[in-house]
Amino acid sequence: MNAYWDQKACEVPPACVIQPRNVWELAQAVKILRREFDLRSERAKKSDESVGPILAVRGGGHSPVAGASSIKGGVLIDLSLFNEVIPAEDGKSVAIGAGCKWMHVSKPLEEKGLAVAGGRNSAVGVGGLTLGGGLSFFSPRYGFVCSNIIEYEIVLADGSITTASATINSELWRALKGGSNNFGIVTRLTARSFPSTSIWSGFLYLPPWQSSKVLSAFHSFVNRSITSTPGQTHDEHAAGPLACFTYLQQLGIQAVAINLVHTAPPANDKRWPGCWRTSAFSKLWRFWSTCDVKSLTSAMDEMSVLNPPGRRQEFATTTVKNDKVTLEAVHNVYRDAIATIKQHRIKNMSWTLVLQPLLPEWARKGDANPLGLDSGGDEPLVIVSFTVNWARSEDDELVQGITRTAIEKIDAFAERKGMGHRYRYLNYCAGWQKPFEGYGDENLQFLREVSKEVDPEGMFQKGCVGGFKLGL
């Protein structure tokens, strides 16, 4: 139970934990659970009651959403023994067990000079991140993580084992590219791999009085995607920037951290890569910088250690256009919430606002997906997210309320100014949010149709907690 990242999830005891050793054992478990689900469904029809969930599935266990991979009194299927990482002989793909974390994937690939478009935090699970879409250091070059999955092995609700690819079960293949756990239990993913050695990455740490300059630098850099100014165009090897603004309640201080990455650093060059050297970030006054050439695994580990396990966690997110005034309003909402946090003296609370670019062109790279970002213009977007952690269970509702209020204020401002966007990145959503509505009506209907086809009785809609459901 202590394997979860979010302490809240560690406190939700299941009736039992199943750890299947292979896909056939998992299929047998699903068949048993399906029989129980069918019995409960029959009873529910007679009593006119709803069917309660009976199972949860845990891959990496890194979600802060209550019940995402935990279930009180039900059956928890733990996929941690699905941990294979098998690169193809030709170096163009790798089979990855759905129970792996990204640290398990990057290390063996590095030994072969390879990488995949995968997670940026080494402790995050492969399955959950990929099924939610997935952002990567390589997204500017290859697109979303889900758009680089060649094939899925999946156990369906009736216990059958099947694969989904561009030529086999192609609609299910597309639906899994952002459709979360609404179709079955994915056991293995085959991802495209490509040559990669070291990357240039790290954090800049700055005082809070630099915040307005950080917002300006962020806005300017993200707008490079729509400029033709020589020396100022977008570099597809440049990932980020991730601009993080944090208030630490215990110390009563604020700080700013900026993550910069370049996935093709020049050889034997100690200087910053050109795109970052010519950006306003290089001129910001800072306490220190960790930016340097390092292995992909080291860069992912640096992300992971900033928010270790053992704390109560909450996410929430929205998406806005890359508008300077809107970004300033977003930061004002973050800053105004600090007064409420101080007033309630929420123990050991860390309150962090993260801004990161989302370019619609990324969604058009790799395979088609149902995220709904491939249509429309190329106007750059910004994912706004709050990453919050704290110490005491008695503060859970208060913290979640502060986070929800902040998102609602940002959405209200963006809507008034015409700077909002419907998309919500599923992996950053709070439990109360509805990411599939942000995919657009046509894509949501597509996901629902695929769900009905592969799971007509709705076991993964009604009987399985976790992820976000399709409203069937």
E-only strand ranges, 250-380: 253-262, 288-289, 292-294, 312-321, 350-358
The answer to the question of residue 469 being in a domain is no
Query: What pLDDT was estimated at residue 231?
Result: 60
Query: What pLDDT was estimated at residue 467?
Result: 77
Q: Are residues 258 and 382 in the same domain?
A: yes
Query: What pLDDT was estimated at residue 232?
Result: 63
Identify the helix (H) or strand (E) that includes residue 414.
Answer: helix 396-417
Strands 185-195 and 93-97: antiparallel
Q: Is 164 helix (H, G, I), strand (E, B) or coil?
A: strand
Q: Is 145 helix (H, G, I), strand (E, B) or coil?
A: helix
Query: What pLDDT was estimated at residue 46?
Result: 85
Does the structure show a pLDDT above 80 at 394? yes
- Average model confidence (pLDDT) across the chain: 94
> Angle at CA 240, nearest 5°, toward 375 and 466?
65
Strands 55-58 and 75-78: parallel
The answer to the question of residue 189 being in a domain is yes
Half-sphere exposure of 88 (CA within 13 A, CB side): 15
Short-list 187, 189, 167, CA closest to 177 = 189
The answer to the question of residue 247 being in a domain is yes
E-only strand ranges, 196-347: 199-206, 238-248, 253-262, 288-289, 292-294, 312-321
Query: CA 224 to CA 275: how far, in whole Å?
Result: 10
DSSP 350: E
What's 446's domain CATH number? 3.30.465.10
Domain housing 124: 85-196+437-456
Q: Are residues 120 and 164 in the same domain?
A: yes
Q: Are residues 340 and 313 in the same domain?
A: yes
Sign of CA dihedral 263, 268, 270, 273: negative
Query: What pLDDT was estimated at residue 227?
Result: 62
pTM of the model: 0.95
Show which of 30, 57, 78 is a domain's final residue. Answer: 78
Of 360 and 129, the structure prediction assigns the larger pLDDT to: 129
The answer to the question of residue 467 being in a domain is no
Q: What are phi and psi of 191, to 5 degrees?
A: -105, 150
Query: CA 235 to CA 262: how far, in whole Å?
Result: 9
Q: Are residues 412 and 327 in the same domain?
A: yes
Q: Which tokens sit at 254?
A: 């604020």
Q: Are residues 237 and 329 in the same domain?
A: yes
How buried is residue 21: exposed, middle or buried, by Cβ count under 10 Å (0-12/13-18/19+)? exposed
DSSP 447: H
Q: Using alpha carbons, list the distances in angstroms from residue 197 to 4, 130, 261, 297, 317.
A: 31, 23, 14, 11, 33
Q: Are residues 421 and 444 in the same domain?
A: no
Mean pLDDT of 238-267: 94
For the chain, the distance separating the N- and C-terminal CA atoms, rounded to the nearest angstrom, is 31
Short-list 37, 36, 20, 39, CA closest to 28 = 20
Q: Crossing angle, helix 324-344 and helix 396-417, to 10 degrees?
A: 160
Q: Are residues 391 and 319 in the same domain?
A: yes
The answer to the question of residue 468 being in a domain is no
Show which of 23, 47, 78 is a domain's final residue. Answer: 78
Does the structure show a pLDDT above 60 at 458? yes
Query: What pLDDT was estimated at residue 107?
Result: 94
Q: Are residues 207 and 190 in the same domain?
A: no
Q: Which tokens sit at 171?
A: 């609609």
DSSP 452: H
pLDDT digits (tens, 9 = 90+) for 209-231: 999 999 999 999 999 876 656 56
Mean pLDDT of 396-414: 98
Query: What pLDDT was estimated at residue 233?
Result: 65
pLDDT digits (tens, 9 = 90+) for 309-365: 999 999 999 999 999 999 999 999 999 999 999 999 999 999 999 999 999 889 899
Q: Are residues 146 and 208 in the same domain?
A: no
Q: What contacts 89, CB < 8 A, 6 or more positions away?
A: none
Q: Which tokens sit at 91?
A: 């170096």
Instruction: List the alpha helices (DSSP H) in 4-68.
Output: 7-10, 23-47
Query: What pLDDT was estimated at residue 375?
Result: 76
Q: Are residues 223 and 120 in the same domain?
A: no
Q: Are residues 256 and 360 in the same domain?
A: yes
Of 364 and 444, the structure prediction assigns the larger pLDDT to: 444
Q: Are residues 285 and 358 in the same domain?
A: yes
Strands 292-294 and 253-262: unpaired
pLDDT digits (tens, 9 = 90+) for 68-111: 899 999 999 999 999 999 999 999 999 999 999 999 999 999 99
Please give the single-letter amino acid code of residue 304. S
The answer to the question of residue 24 being in a domain is yes
Instruction: List the alpha helices (DSSP H) in 61-123.
Output: 102-110
The answer to the question of residue 38 being in a domain is yes
The answer to the question of residue 423 being in a domain is yes
Show which of 56, 78, 100 is a domain's final residue. Answer: 78
Domain total of the chain: 3
